[in-house]
């Protein structure tokens, strides 16, 4: 059960979601918590009823441990029950296990997925084919949990195997997009922030309206609309101190609504900043870009590439691509960089239809390191 979050203030939550909805935590946070509890029991013999887990951006969360079992004198398994708060998904209530075992070789840490954690079989996911579907942020959190239990000298002395398992993961995965994405045999261990902020359409829409109102009241006539926390962080590195905090607005999946509100409220200029997946959906004319509500059309992207002069081989590969990110990898390999500007132009054309006013729109496409790879108007 969720206990508390240290460093996550009420003001970190969008306006309209304060107090009413309960925050949860990701499968990645569960894996880190279970690892910390199992390792602590292994080196100290103590079974902790709860652990403090370090999240990105110097935040912390206290997680209850369901149970801890000694497999043998060199191996311990701990379990955490996934709690999605007031935004439960198909993984809500799932058990996430971490089995920590001592290895013969010292100073070596191996992290892998066991039963119920999917294996990557297709490109385009930012994960190595053949490896467990444990995303980069959860991996960092697991390593951080290990560091917090072991002193530097101890870490050099121990070799550790960390096996993350989800007993019902294979069954749960059938209700996700994992099979389509080529993640076979279980769920993914996910999370970029470690917490799940409750999703409410009405309250999120209210937060966007109020954020625009605040920006106007503070004297800003331009806003930076980002699709999430990661794109906002990258946007801040692009604009630096030239843009005030209140001008940054996280719009999630509500791009159509956000542009209309900017137009209604007489905003002069709106920058739309995001990654290839969300921007592709916007370029297709999708106004609400949640993963459950729309899929990326590879034929659409192939047509764009063809317009940019792509050869037949590249067009065929794009049609068969696994994800929008995979398409980006194919484009990068081909050197057809103008594709990204054309994609941004398509986004611009669709959003302009939603703003029959003097609102200026600028589309900026980022890669997954935060580099600007496309924009329109140039």
* Mean per-residue pLDDT of the chain: 87
Pick the range with the lowest mean pLDDT from 195-199, 208-212, 371-375.
195-199
Q: Where are the beta strands (DSSP E) in the chain?
A: 2-6, 24-25, 50-55, 59-64, 67-72, 75-81, 95-103, 108-113, 116-117, 119-120, 159-165, 183-184, 186-187, 195-196, 222-226, 248-250, 269-274, 360-366, 372-376
The yes-or-no verdict on residue 161 having pLDDT over 60 is yes
Q: 249 by DSSP, 3-state: which?
A: strand
pLDDT score of 16:
39
pLDDT score of 172:
94
Tens of pLDDT, residues 311-336 = 999 999 999 999 999 999 999 999 99
- According to DSSP, residue 286 is labeled -
Confidence class of residue 1 from pLDDT cuts 50, 70 and 90? very low
Tens of pLDDT, residues 216-268 = 888 889 999 999 889 999 999 999 888 988 899 989 888 988 999 999 999 99
Confidence class of residue 209 from pLDDT cuts 50, 70 and 90? confident
Taking the model in full, what pTM does it have?
0.70
pLDDT score of 176:
83
Alpha-carbon separation of residue 361 from 146, 275, 356 (angstroms): 46, 17, 12
Residues 166, 189: Cα–Cα separation, whole Å = 9
- According to DSSP, residue 266 is labeled T
Give the best-scoring range by mean pLDDT among 190-204, 209-223, 266-280.
266-280
Share of the chain above pLDDT 90, in %: 62
Higher pLDDT, residue 87 or 56: 56
Confidence class of residue 200 from pLDDT cuts 50, 70 and 90? low
Confidence class of residue 68 from pLDDT cuts 50, 70 and 90? very high
The yes-or-no verdict on residue 12 having pLDDT over 70 is no
Higher pLDDT, residue 23 or 371: 371
Alpha-carbon separation of residue 191 from 147, 297, 317, 360 (angstroms): 20, 25, 29, 34
Pick the range with the lowest mean pLDDT from 28-42, 77-91, 322-336.
77-91
Domains of the chain by start residue, with CATH: 2-196 (3.30.2110.10), 201-376 (no CATH)
Alpha-carbon separation of residue 27 from 82, 128, 346 (angstroms): 6, 19, 35
Closest listed residue to residue 85, CA positions, set 1, 13, 23, 17: 23
Indicate left, alpha or beta for 41 from its phi (over 0: left) and psi (-120 to 50: alpha): alpha
The yes-or-no verdict on residue 7 having pLDDT over 70 is no
- According to DSSP, residue 335 is labeled T
Average pLDDT for 57-64: 91
């Amino acid at each position: 059960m969720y206990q508390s979050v240290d460093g996550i203030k009420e003001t970190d939550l969008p306006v309209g979601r304060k107090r009413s909805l309960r925050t949860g935590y990701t499968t990645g946070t569960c894996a880190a918590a279970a690892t910390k509890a199992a390792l602590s029991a292994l080196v100290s013999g103590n079974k902790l009823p709860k652990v403090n887990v370090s999240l990105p951006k110097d935040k912390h969360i206290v997680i209850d441990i369901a149970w801890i079992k000694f497999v043998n004198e060199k191996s311990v398994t701990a379990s955490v029950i996934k709690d999605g708060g007031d935004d439960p998904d198909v993984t809500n209530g799932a058990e996430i296990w971490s089995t920590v075992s001592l290895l013969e070789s010292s100073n070596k840490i191996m992290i892998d997925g066991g039963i119920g954690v999917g294996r990557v079989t297709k490109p385009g996911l930012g994960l190595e084919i053949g490896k467990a579907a444990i995303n980069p942020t959860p991996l960092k959190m697991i390593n951080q949990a290990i560091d917090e239990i072991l002193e530097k000298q101890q870490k050099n002395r121990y070799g550790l195997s960390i096996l993350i398992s989800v007993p019902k993961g294979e069954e749960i995965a059938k209700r996700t997009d994992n099979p389509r994405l080529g993640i076979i045999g279980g769920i993914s261990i996910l999370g970029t922030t470690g917490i799940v902020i409750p999703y409410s359409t009405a309250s999120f829409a209210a937060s966007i309206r109020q954020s625009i109102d605040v920006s106007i009241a503070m004297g800003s006539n331009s806003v930076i609309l980002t699709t999430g926390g990661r794109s906002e962080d990258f946007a801040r590195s692009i604009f630096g101190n030239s843009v005030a905090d209140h001008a940054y607005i996280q719009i999630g999946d509500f791009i159509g609504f956000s542009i209309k509100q900017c137009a209604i409220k007489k905003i002069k200029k709106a920058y739309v900043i995001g990654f290839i997946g969300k921007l592709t959906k916007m370029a297709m004319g999708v106004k609400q870009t949640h993963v459950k509500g729309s899929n990326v059309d590879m034929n659409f992207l192939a047509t764009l590439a063809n317009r940019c002069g792509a050869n037949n081989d590249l067009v065929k590969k794009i049609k068969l691509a696994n994800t929008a990110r995979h398409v980006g990898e194919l484009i990068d390999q081909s050197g057809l960089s103008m594709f990204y500007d054309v994609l941004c132009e398509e986004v611009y054309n669709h959003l302009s239809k939603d703003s029959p006013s003097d609102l200026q729109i600028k589309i900026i496409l980022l890669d997954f390191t935060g580099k600007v790879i496309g924009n329109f108007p140039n």
